[in-house]
Amino acid sequence: MGCSTDSLWGKSTEMPSFKRLEGEVKTDVLIIGGGMVGLLTAYFLEEMGVRYILVEKGRICSGVTRNTTAKITVQHGLIYHKIIKDFGEEAARDYFAANTEALEKYKELCGSIDCDFEERDNFIYSQDRAKLRKEEEALSRLGINAAFYDELPIPLNVAGAVCFENQAQFNPLKFIARISKGLNIFEGTHISDIIGTVAYFDGGKIEADRVVIATHFPFLDRQGLYFMKMYQHRSYAVALEKAEEYGGMYADDEKKGMTFRNCGDLLIVGGGGHRTGKKGGGYRFLEEFAKEHYKGSKIVAKWATQDCISLDSVAYIGEYSKGTKGIYTATGFNEWGMSSSMVAAIGLSRMLVGKKWKYKELYNPSRSILKPQLFLNGVESVAGLMCPTLRRCTHLGCALSWNPQEHSWDCSCHGSRFSEDGRLLNNPANKDKDFKGNKKTEP
């Protein structure tokens, strides 16, 4: 059942290429990062007539956006009763409204783009009936329409599910390939440092009035404390031919749970997840699951992605920190990157031109971080620093552990990943690790 590791979107889409930036330039807005957030923000700035530059150290959409399961929904787990508890009912309504605006914007843009866009119902299932009842009560209080199911067609025993109708799925790379045409993009341009709003790269610098750091995990360590208020979670997916047609999109409320969605005549199954740097089921779990529940099916694609998990299940979108004037970011999307990317791009593009964004305070990156997960993140960081090993992350020096399924060295503290020979795969680390030519595949 082996096959190369690339997503369905990567296998089926030819992406445009862009030249490398050279020399010293000036601009109104610099966007660092060529994933969905950065490209949508650039798209909106282009529409507004704002002078901007987008730089990407590799190829656009070669990271998390390439490896998403590409569901677009306002239903991000059983989240609304949690938001009411942490922020209040008004904030929960704002969260729903912000993500509804994002969903409708995708529907508008995708209406004229061939990107396999389809409206599908979204189901969040759980093994915990009490949690489902809490969510049902919260949605009723908020006036949000939802349906409730006791049984689902997927091959799992569940206590029930909450369904939001008329959500969506698509091919994100086909979408980006279209909207990126004509944008001011430079690939192969690695930003190594930022001082104020001046960014430096090998061979030049960019002077900007405002900077957007859209690099999945923000890489400026001196401000924001993002390495304390997030951790990263690794998850896996396989595409199966000769499997089931379920009609909707399905996801477990638990981060280690499974997801299901169809794409044409294929079934995408996700699962085997774990905190980055820790052990998990990975591809082997999904292969065994397919053998047991989809007899006669064949895996035609497999891929993995990485999600930034915030402290309170709400993304961080806005000013990077209280002490970084003119710098903005978007991160902590909690496994719901497509809808959250659109929310972020809409909000950032408005803030960048001095317009009011109604949801600024809800998503404020500088909101209180006094949450239980903060303590757990701190414990993990201390354990990583104390672990005796020669292989350490170039970010803050935590121990790296070997990921045998992906042949990478992963940091459990903050989620950086390196190839077998030390090439940086995932930030917040911002430089390679020199393993002195040792490509040993076991720790």
Q: Say what angle helices 80-87 and 89-110 make with each other, to 10 degrees.
A: 130
How far apart, in whole angstroms, are the C-alpha atoms of residue 395 and residue 409?
13
Structure tokens that stand for 169 in this block? 């799925």
- Residue 155 dihedral angles phi and psi, to the nearest 5°: -85, 55
Q: Which domains does the chain have, with CATH numbers?
A: 76-86+116-168+229-308 (3.30.9.10), 372-426 (2.102.10.10)
* pLDDT attached to residue 95: 98
Structure tokens that stand for 272 in this block? 């085997």
How far apart, in whole angstroms, are the C-alpha atoms of residue 266 and residue 269?
10
Structure tokens that stand for 315 in this block? 């993304």
Structure tokens that stand for 112 in this block? 């004229």
* pLDDT attached to residue 383: 61
How far apart, in whole angstroms, are the C-alpha atoms of residue 33 and residue 227?
18
In 311-374, DSSP assigns E strands to 316-319, 327-331
How far apart, in whole angstroms, are the C-alpha atoms of residue 216 and residue 200?
19
Model pLDDT for residues 229-262, shown as the tens digit of each residue: 999 999 999 999 999 999 999 999 998 899 999 9
* pLDDT attached to residue 441: 40
Q: Are 396 and 429 in contact (CB under 8 A)?
A: no
* pLDDT attached to residue 131: 96
How far apart, in whole angstroms, are the C-alpha atoms of residue 33 and residue 167?
27
Provide the sign of the torsion angle of the four alpha carbons 21, 25, 27, 32, taken in this order.
positive
CA 165, distance to chain mean position in Å, is 23
Q: Are 271 and 281 in contact (CB under 8 A)?
A: yes
Please enumerate in sequence order all residues whose Cβ is within 8 A of that of 386, keeping only pairs 6 or more positions apart, or say none. none
Which segments of the chain have a pLDDT < 70? 1-2, 370-386, 388-390, 435-443
Model pLDDT for residues 279-310, shown as the tens digit of each residue: 899 999 999 999 999 999 999 999 999 999 99
The two most distant CA atoms of the chain are separated, in Å, by: 61
* pLDDT attached to residue 439: 42
Q: HSE-up of 348 (CA within 13 Å, CB side)?
A: 37
Closest CA to 396 of 372, 412, 408: 412
Q: Which residues pair with 410 in a beta bridge?
A: 401, 417
Structure tokens that stand for 226 in this block? 């993002």
* pLDDT attached to residue 385: 57
**Helical ranges in 365-410 per DSSP H:** 372-386
* pLDDT attached to residue 390: 65
How far apart, in whole angstroms, are the C-alpha atoms of residue 348 and residue 326?
12
DSSP secondary structure string for all residues of 4-60: -B--HHHHH------PPP-EEEEEEEEEE--SHHHHHHHHHHHHHT--EEEE-SSST
How far apart, in whole angstroms, are the C-alpha atoms of residue 11 and residue 126?
32
* pLDDT attached to residue 415: 84
- In terms of Cβ atoms closer than 10 Å to its own Cβ (0-12, 13-18, 19+), residue 136 is middle
Dihedral, 277, 281, 287, 290 alpha carbons, nearest 10: -130
Strand, coil or helix: 108: helix
Strand, coil or helix: 191: strand
- In terms of Cβ atoms closer than 10 Å to its own Cβ (0-12, 13-18, 19+), residue 140 is exposed
